[in-house]
Amino acid sequence: MNNQNEFKPYIPAEKVTPEFTVTSIVMGIILSVVFGAANAYLGLRVGMTVSASIPAAVIAMGVIRVIMRKNSILESNMVQTVGSAGESLAAGAIFTMPALFLWAAEGRMEKPGVLSITLIALIGGLLGVLFMVPLRNALIVNEHGVLPYPEGQACAEVLLAGEEGGANASTVFAGLGIAAAFKFLIDGLKVVPSEVSFRVKGYAGEIGTQIYPAVMSVGYICGPRISSYMFAGGVLSWLVLIPAIVLFGADLTLYPGNVPIGEMFAEGGASNIWGSYIRYIGAGALAAGGILSLIKSLPLIIRTFRDALKSMKNSVGGGSERTSQDLNMKFLLIGIAVLTLLIWLLPVIPVTLPGAVIVVIFGFFFATVSSRMVGLVGSSNNPVSGMAIATLLFATIILKLTGDDGVHGMQGAIAIGSIICIVAAMAGDTSQDLKTGFLLGATPKKQQIGELLGAIAAAFAIGGVLYLLDAAWGFGSEQLGAPQATLMKMIIEGVMENNLPWALVFMGVFIAIVVEVVGIPVLPFAIGVYLPVQLNACIMVGGLIRLAFDRMNKEEKEKEAIISDGVLYCSGMIAGEGLVGILLAVLAVAGVDQALDLSGMLNLSVPVANIASLVVFALVILSVLKFSIWKKRK
C-alpha cells in the first residue's frame, strides 16, 4: 500500500504557491451558488443531478489563467473545491425537502420557513465535511493506488492539462449561453411547445420527446446505457401500463382516482392516468430499487466502514508537512457536538433527542461509507437514494414508536432524512476533492475550509431557490416532478398513516425485482417508470449522440478530446438552462411571464407547432456537434 512518502504530488510539499486566495474563494462561492441552483432545478425536473467539479475546474482555469494571467493550479483547484460543494448540497436537499412543500399544498401543515430549510441544509453540509475529514489520511493517503476516486482523478487531469484552459472554458461558456437562449425561447417566449407527443388512434399509449438542452445533456453525460434503461422504464409506463389501465378499467373508479378511468383519460389523456396511478407504481419501483442497491452494497458497506475505522486508528493525524495538514481534531469534535445539539435544541428544526442521535449515528456511518464507495465506484454509482430511503424508514418507525407521530413526526422524519442525504452527498464530494488536491499537492486543511465555505454559501442559497421554484410552479407539477421527494413523502405517509394505494406500490416493487433478476440496474429504470416518457426520450437522444461518438472510427486521443468537449459543452448547457429556469421562476412570481408569452400571438396549429419544436431540437443537437466533433482544435 502506498503512503504519502512514496507519492510525489505535482506541487511538492516544500513549495508554497497561491491557493486559499480572495479570488479563489469568491469565484468558488459564486460557482457553488450557481451550480447549486442549476442542479436543484435539474434534479427537481429530471430526478438526477450531475457533478459540477470538472466544469467548475475548467471555468476556474479559464478565468485565472486566461483572463487574470495567473499561473496557479492550486488556486484553480480551490475554486472547484468550493464550487462543487454547492452541487452536492443541492442534490441532497432536493431529494427530500420538497416533501414539506407538498404536505403544505395538501393543507396538512404550514410551509417550512426559509430559516428552517437553510439551517437543515447548513447542518447537513457542515456535518458531511466534518465527518469526512478524519478519514482523509485513511482513505486518500494510505489507500492511494487502491481507491481510484475516478472523478477526483479526472478533475486533477483536467487541471493538469491547463494549457488548454482557455479553449475548454470557452466551450463551457458557449454551452451556458446557447442553452440559456434556447430555454428562454422555449419556456420564456413560448415560441414553440416544449414537447412533441404522438398517439396511435384507438390505443391509449403515448410517445414523444421534450426539446430541452439540459435534459438531452443529462443523457449525453450519463451515456447510452443509463439513458436506455431510463427510456425502457418510460416505454413500460406509457406504452404498456397506461394502455392496460385504460383498456381494463375504463368504466371503473379506482383509488386514488375519483372519476371513472375512461373519463379521466378522455379529459387529460395519458398524463392524467400517469398522475393518478403510474406515479405510485414508479414510486414503488424507486423505493425497491434504492433498497435493493443498498442490500447489494451491504457487504461492501460493512467492509468499507470496518476498513476505514481500522485505517483511521492506524493513521497519524495532521503532519508537519504542508500536504499533510488537516483541520484540528479538537475543532472537528467540538463542531460535531455543537451541530448535534443544534439539531435537537433549535425550534425551527422539528427533531427530538432520539432523532438527533439517529442523525449522528447514521450520519457518521453513511459519511464513511459514501467517502469510500465513491473512491471505488465513483459518485454517480453512490447509492445515496438507498441510504436516504433506509434512514427514512428506520427514523419514521423509531419516531412513531417513541410517540412522535402525526404532523410533527412527519416533519421530523423529513428533517432527519434531509440531513443524512446531504451528509452522504457532501462526504462523497469532499473525498473526491481531497483526492484531486492530494494528486496536485494542495494543502488539505485549506481545502477542508473551502468545502465548509462552499457548503455555507449553498445552504444560504438553497432555501430561496426552493421557495422560488415552489412559488412559480409548485413541486409535483409538470414542470417540477420532484420524483425523489414525492417518494420520501409517500414512504413517511405509508409508515405513519398507512393510507397509500399499496396495490400500485407493490406492482412497482415487483417490477423492480423482475428488472433486477434480469440484470438491469434498477434505479435508472425505476426513475424512467416514474417520469414522463417525453422526458426519458429526450435523455435517450443525448445518450444516442454519446453512443455515436463512442463508436466513431477515429484515433483514440482524438475521440477522447471530442467526447470530453461534448461533456464540457453539455455541462455548460445544464448550468445555462438551470439559471434561466431560476430567472423564469422569478418572472413567474413577479407576474411578468404572461407578458412575454408569444404563443397566443403566433397561434400555430398542432402539426406546424410540432415541426417547429423538432426544428429547434435539431438545432440544439447540431450545437453539440459544433462544439465537439466539428470544433476547430489547435
Q: 317-324, long-range: CB within 8 Å, 24+ apart, which pairs?
A: 317/134, 317/137, 318/445, 319/4, 321/4, 321/13, 322/13, 322/14, 322/16, 322/443, 323/4, 323/9, 323/13, 323/438, 323/441, 323/442, 323/443, 323/444, 324/4, 324/13, 324/137, 324/141, 324/444
Higher pLDDT, 72 or 29: 29
What element of type H or E holds 461? helix 444-472
Mean pLDDT of the chain: 87
Would you state the pLDDT for residue 1?
A: 43
| CA 229/CA 15 separation, integer angstroms | 48
Phi, psi of 569 (to 5 degrees): -65, -45
Q: String of b and e for 134-154 (b: at least 16 CB within 10 Å)?
A: bbbbbbbbbbbeebebbbbeb
pLDDT digit string, tens, across residues 266-308? 877 787 888 788 888 988 888 888 788 778 767 766 776 776 6
* pLDDT tier, 316 (very low <50, low <70, confident <90, very high otherwise): very low
Q: 167 by DSSP, 3-state: which? A: helix
Would you state the pLDDT for residue 486?
A: 86
Express as a percent the part of the chain with pLDDT over 70. 94
The pTM assigned to this predicted structure is: 0.82
Would you state the pLDDT for residue 314?
A: 57
Would you state the pLDDT for residue 105?
A: 92
Higher pLDDT, 585 or 320: 585
Environment class of residue 69 by beta-carbon count within 10 Å: exposed (0-12), middle (13-18) or buried (19+)? exposed
| CA 490/CA 475 separation, integer angstroms | 14
* pLDDT tier, 311 (very low <50, low <70, confident <90, very high otherwise): low
Arithmetic mean of pLDDT, 134-143: 83
Would you state the pLDDT for residue 537?
A: 95
* pLDDT tier, 164 (very low <50, low <70, confident <90, very high otherwise): low
Residue pair 530/282 in contact (Cβ under 8 Å)? The answer is: yes
Residue pair 218/575 in contact (Cβ under 8 Å)? The answer is: no
Higher pLDDT, 121 or 381: 121
* pLDDT tier, 390 (very low <50, low <70, confident <90, very high otherwise): confident
pLDDT digit string, tens, across residues 424-440? 999 999 999 999 999 99
Q: 122 by DSSP, 3-state: which? A: helix
Is pLDDT at 499 greater than 60 in this prediction?
yes
In Å, how far are 77, 519, 615 from 444, measured between CA atoms? 11, 40, 49
Helix pair angle (444-472, 406-440), 10° resolution: 140
Strand partners, 207: 198
Helix pair angle (556-590, 213-222), 10° resolution: 150
pLDDT digit string, tens, across residues 450-473? 999 999 999 999 999 999 999 999
